[in-house]
Structure 1
Amino acid sequence: MTDVVTVDEHGRYRLRLERHLDHARSEVWRALTSVRCPPRLAQVAPRADPPRLLEYRTGDTAVRWEIADDGRAGSVLVFTQVCGSRQDGVDEMGWWLTALEVLGEWLDGDTHTDFPRRARCMIERCRCAFG
């Protein structure tokens, strides 16, 4: 697991989350496409190259999932988000950290998660840490 937050030369926030998963790329793709996006991205047409790439763009925000085989039976998921404002970056960081946790749980067969509550808690933690 690797999590990195950076600010580029234009002041945009970039979140990069990497997860090693014990599931094939095709399984990750199926689960990934069932994870809810934040409401402001839900209506944006994605760019997709199944089962390797899924990307959404709207305004100054871009989210991207890349899935690669890990050379064994699993895969590596790299999620990136670029957004123009600090507050959006901090709030959405909590959303995406939760989404990746839930994605891993779904892949492991646990479909009984309280995503909204967990996301609110993680967003608050991110606000405290980075706000």
Structure 2
Amino acid sequence: MNPHSDTLGPADDGRHSVLRMERRLAHPPAKVWAAITQPAHLANWFPSEVTLELKPGGAMGFHFPGDEGPGMTGEVTDAEEPRLFAFSWGDDHLRWEIAPDGPDGQGSLLTLEHTFGDRFGAASFASGWHLCLSALGQFLDGGPAEVSQDAGELHEAYLEQFDLGRGEVTGDGIRFERQLVRFANKVWAELCAGEEPLEGDTAPDGFLADGISAGPVTSVWAPTSLTYAVHPKGEVRWEFVEGTGHGARLVLTQTGVMDDAEAVLAAWHARLERLAGQLLES
């Protein structure tokens, strides 16, 4: 399936984002309804084990195989067979709507709306649901759900489609936040290229962008952060924090930008695009 049929937009409250995905399925709404509401069917394609009371206000539980602990909880918010099933999952909300489709009405148009607060996680959510919906289609067709895990290409396609790689000008500086497809230790090794940075040294080339004159490293905590001075009175900070589970979340900032913020933003955007390509090959 092509990710270009899927959309990301703001929620009505202005604080959340809504991922909207549509899939046409060659099966009647009643069959699709069973596949998205019955735990035994969900086990074939949904990303976690699910327990639920299929009624508004009913409790839900989500548990990923192999994870210790009680798992996450949610609540059914809508259950209108065979048209609408919606529920909370932690702080997120998922709405599944089924409409008859096709000339005889024996197919279905399934629409998923996922509302969440972490806009920069949207590419992870979209690529994950993309694979789940592919598995749902295989399950409905009567075959085993055999969907290959994304090595990063699908994630990056959604990141580009949703324009999540663009940074922003912030006061006297710039800021990027980007979900990566590899974890911090792997990204750190790619950036260092065998040259471990030390305080007082010039930052390795991997941490630089074209046209950015690097001064000495002022702080380094491998593999989670590196800060170095830049001319005339600013600093660049690379920080890797917890992301969506697909890899590290990079937060990159530069201060002291002053009058050339757009040029600096473009330079760092190009650098991070190159890094994303390198990580796909690693």
Normalising by structure 1, we get a TM-score of 0.77
Shift of the alpha carbon at 1:74?
0.7
Shift of the alpha carbon at 1:111?
1.2
Shift of the alpha carbon at 1:60?
4.0
- CA contact under 8 A between 1:13 and 1:83: conserved in structure 2? yes
Note the 1:29-44 alignment, pairs <5 A. Answer: 29-33=33-37, 34=42, 35-37=45-47, 42=62, 43-44=73-74
Note the 1:69-108 alignment, pairs <5 A. Answer: 69-70=100-101, 71-108=104-141
Corresponding residue to 1:16 among 20, 35, 38: 20
Note the 1:110-129 alignment, pairs <5 A. Answer: 110-114=143-147, 117-118=149-150, 122-123=154-155, 125-127=157-159
* 2:78 counterpart of 1:50: no
Moved segments of 4+, more than 3 Å: 118-131
Shift of the alpha carbon at 1:23?
0.5
Q: Percent identical across equivalent pairs?
A: 29
Q: Partner of 2:138: helix, strand, or coil?
A: helix
Shift of the alpha carbon at 1:99?
1.1
Greater gyration radius = 2
* RMSD, aligned CA: 2.8
**CA offset digits 1:49-96 (Å, max 9, x no partner):** 222111121454111100111252111111101111113323211111
- CA contact under 8 A between 1:94 and 1:119: conserved in structure 2? no
Q: Tell me the number of residue pairs that the alignment of Structure 1 and Structure 2 aligns.
A: 129
Tell me how far apart the structure 1 counterparts of residues 24 and 113 of structure 2 sit (CA, whole Å).
Answer: 15
Task: Report the more deviating stretch, 89-98 or 44-53.
Answer: 44-53
Where structure 1 has 5 or more consecutive residues not aligned to the other structure, the ranges are none
Q: Partner of 1:90: helix, strand, or coil?
A: helix
> Relative to total residues, which structure has the larger helix share, 1 or 2?
1
Change (3 A) 1:7 1:38: farther
Aligned to 1:25: 29
**CA offset digits 1:13-38 (Å, max 9, x no partner):** 21111112110011111222314245
Tell me how far apart the structure 1 counterparts of residues 156 and 48 of structure 2 sit (CA, whole Å).
Answer: 16
Shift of the alpha carbon at 1:107?
1.1
Change (3 A) 1:56 1:88: farther
Change (3 A) 1:63 1:112: closer
- CA contact under 8 A between 2:135 and 2:146: conserved in structure 1? yes
Q: Partner of 2:125: helix, strand, or coil?
A: helix
Q: Partner of 1:105: helix, strand, or coil?
A: helix
Tell me how far apart the structure 1 counterparts of residues 134 and 152 of structure 2 sit (CA, whole Å).
Answer: 14
Normalising by structure 2, we get a TM-score of 0.40
